[in-house]
A and B are shown apart, each in its own frame.
Chain A
């Protein structure tokens, strides 16, 4: 703990050294101001705290400002409780309470412990304007937090708010900071403040522009473009050139970003289409109920999560791992049933198959609607699938990244299965030449059922992944069926590699078109391109050659 500089010393505070040790942040509150308050005596701090009880946004706003600037040791607990919805107020007695994150309740004005909240107490309400004020207050109150991550977050929030009042603290903190990353964040925050400070010198401002330019992201851009026109001409020129350089940098990154989004969309397309590549591509069954297999997989995930939520809440992060095999079994079993019950009577009659499976898809949808209701079901993201991280100037969300990995894993496993297992060999044999395979003693009807079950099962596990990014509703499958057929036909019927290349090509093309043409036109353009492509190469990207084609 750095010793407080003498002229900021806390004269008259009734604060134990122990408490200061624990909550270094409080120190800042004290550093911030030479004014001091004595808890337990009515004063400006108590008046400010009482304003939280008025349930009026502008009063709450004033209270936040007054409390944050009060230097009272309770300021930080109050403001952070407010941010997390743990600050409550009793409108009748005008008393305000802080419920600690450990569940202990104290009176916000005095710090005295309270047994329980009065019945009439309600959480203090915030709106966006106030939330911003709270964030800025927390930022300036946590600049000296012992946790480097918190110090960085605080510096970033100061960067955004560029409040002049934080400058002395930042200067002090910067001198003592040893952590490189934190130091950089502090320097940027300081630059942001100087840029907006009216009486900063031209040299200071030019330095600040250089620092912000080096930061080079969208926030830096926002900061620079937000500067008014009242700048010295030299600084104004520097700002303009910094904006131009950040812009060109961001433009390069946006290409990378489009490519990543394309890969991500491609992986979703591939995942949805991969099962169809088996049932339609390999077996030649026009399976309109494919999307419903995806939906069944998603609902399996929902059921698994419901059971986990009610019985074993600790397992929630593993819910998807549990759901994957179950979804495969559920969808696969239904697939086998469909093949045995309907499709085996319709081999070689594509029109009837199309109608029968389409009817089946409606039946399945309505069945799910009757069982689970027409509304969306909530499937939660496990913690390892929430949030994002940044690479350079692009944001990569974890759920998309995991889906990409998962898709590739499914693809590799499927490929290996077809290549190296006995069942895979039989499947290839039956689909390439049914009569020859039968003559060799392969039970073709059993293989048909298993192949269809495999395709459906894979659609089911696709549903597990898609439940993380889309709605779990009875209509889930419908939105993927067209895209799946598009991918399989484009890639070349009967070729898994074709499906892979097709999916990623379409995904990336779509994402590069979208910023230019918009989502609606982009999609239309893709469809038109596919139609033209199919005219030229009716068998898709990777056409099968040889006798199997005619079979």
Chain B
């Protein structure tokens, strides 16, 4: 009897289950159909796991936040925006796969994503082949201008060169340590900086270049070397392109070995509010960072943004940083371009983007240039005891991003111009498209 009973229950529940599933499937289909007609899809291609999750997760949240805000204002072209989030897991080839998935399967109109240069290089062919749009929000080494990519982070002349200028003029630095993680961004940036320093009359023996592996944690020797290099009677500074996790033990070692900013200042290009959240910043007082945005900058737009962001993340201590601002600017530019051409068609949007202006969060207006880079102000901030930055210097106006560095032999004649010349590497000497690079 018991068996009979269980059988009955089983049949009934199986039938119910079948019906329920069928209903659900139909409903889902109808739902997604309806949705597909009324939304514009925005791809988010940031690592949510693996090494880069530490930095990129925040950017994913930023895009979701921006989409949420835009939808509150009624979306774009009368349609709601819908985020499609994928996780490329800090795995460079997977970035290309996920990009392809976003464009072909999910049919997104635009993608916001990537952090490391190697991930950007990995998705480039996909965006070219499938003709879609990528907004890249991180400071990078330059030497690139692609039709399908919009670079809202800083090019070297919008971060590295002004920082070195500041140290030279204000701190009277004569000796330079260029320390970086061993990959393409630090190597190219240091090459540019070395050429720039030499053009300013700095001798080879006054430049020390040092590379360390990703995630380097034993900094004793290098910090001792820096100390030694700095005891040559000339004012010395460290220009750090050390990336990611390795910064924390580096700064800890500096503090422990008693190197103060007043003796040897360190100016970093990859350390922001987010990275400092993991360290006790008191020993770091006075060390510098160069960015195009700091959370501490007093501007109504910035204060409003921080407030809304902290409300959205339900964390009143959540910090903001430079790449986030780059996404804010990039997102607004994309929205404006789409509204201008009344379409999300990539070709139309790509052609409309150069010349579009968007307010940045520090009181200025950034503009998309024909080389797909933007104009930005440059700030030098000193680390304060509370993990924020105190702006001690800024460029008088906005600096236009150079796709190709003027300091390097191979690239100084090249320009990117997608408006007039329709070319990313136009050689102004030979008047031909196609110089060094792709």
A contact set with B: CB distance below 8 Å? 57, 85, 125-129, 131-132, 135, 218-219, 221-227, 250, 254, 257-258, 261, 264-265, 268, 365-366, 369, 373-378, 380-381, 386-388, 395, 397-400, 469-475, 478-479, 511, 514-515, 518-520, 523
Contacts and interface: CB of A to CB of B under 8 A. Distances in A.
B358 to A, nearest CB: 28
B248 A399 contact: no
Interface in B54-84: 54, 57-58
B245 A265 contact: no
Given A386-B256, A388-B256, A469-B252, A223 B233 contact: yes
* Most chain B beta carbons < 10 A, residue from A219, A224, A397, A511: A397
B265 A128 contact: yes
Given A226-B234, A388-B257, A519-B210, A470 B248 contact: yes
A356 to B, nearest CB: 19
Contacts of A478: 215
11 contacts: A131-B261, A222-B231, A258-B221, A376-B279, A378-B280, A388-B258, A471-B248, A471-B278, A515-B221, A518-B210, A518-B211
Interface in B200-236: 210-213, 215-218, 220-222, 224-225, 227-228, 230-234
A129 B220 contact: no
A222 to B, nearest CB: 4
Given A257-B224, A470-B217, A378 B233 contact: no
B54 A127 contact: no
A375 B277 contact: yes
Interface residues of B, number: 55
A381 B248 contact: no
A336 to B, nearest CB: 27
Given A375-B274, A376-B248, A397 B257 contact: yes
A80 to B, nearest CB: 16
A369 B218 CA distance: 24
A218 B223 CA distance: 14
B323 interface: no
A215 B252 CA distance: 28
Given A131-B286, A218-B231, A397-B257, A519 B217 contact: no
Nearest to A378: B278
Interface of B: 48-51, 53-54, 57-58, 170-171, 182, 210-213, 215-218, 220-222, 224-225, 227-228, 230-234, 245, 248-249, 252-253, 255-258, 261-262, 265, 274-275, 277-280, 286, 288, 382, 385, 390, 392
Contacts of A479: 215, 217
Contacts of A218: 227-228, 231
A376 B54 contact: yes
Given A376-B277, A380-B280, A514 B221 contact: yes
Nearest to A224: B233
A93 B279 CA distance: 37
Nearest to B247: A471
Nearest to A264: B220
Contacts of B275: 376
A482 to B, nearest CB: 11
A366 B224 CA distance: 36
Contacts of A374: 48-49, 53-54, 57
B262 A131 contact: yes
B392 A127 contact: yes
Nearest to A131: B262
Contacts of A365: 49
A507 to B, nearest CB: 9
Contact of A520 (B51, B213, B230): B213
Nearest to A127: B392
B212 A520 contact: yes
Nearest to B319: A375
A479 B58 CA distance: 23
Contact of A469 (B170, B249, B382): B249
A514 B81 CA distance: 52
Contacts of B256: 386-388, 397-399
Give the top 8 A-B pairs by smallest Cβ distance, nearest first.
A226-B233, A376-B278, A225-B233, A374-B53, A218-B231, A222-B231, A397-B256, A519-B212
A294 B217 CA distance: 15
A357 B56 CA distance: 27
Nearest to A398: B256
A248 to B, nearest CB: 14
Contact of A473 (B171, B225, B245, B286): B245
Nearest to A220: B231
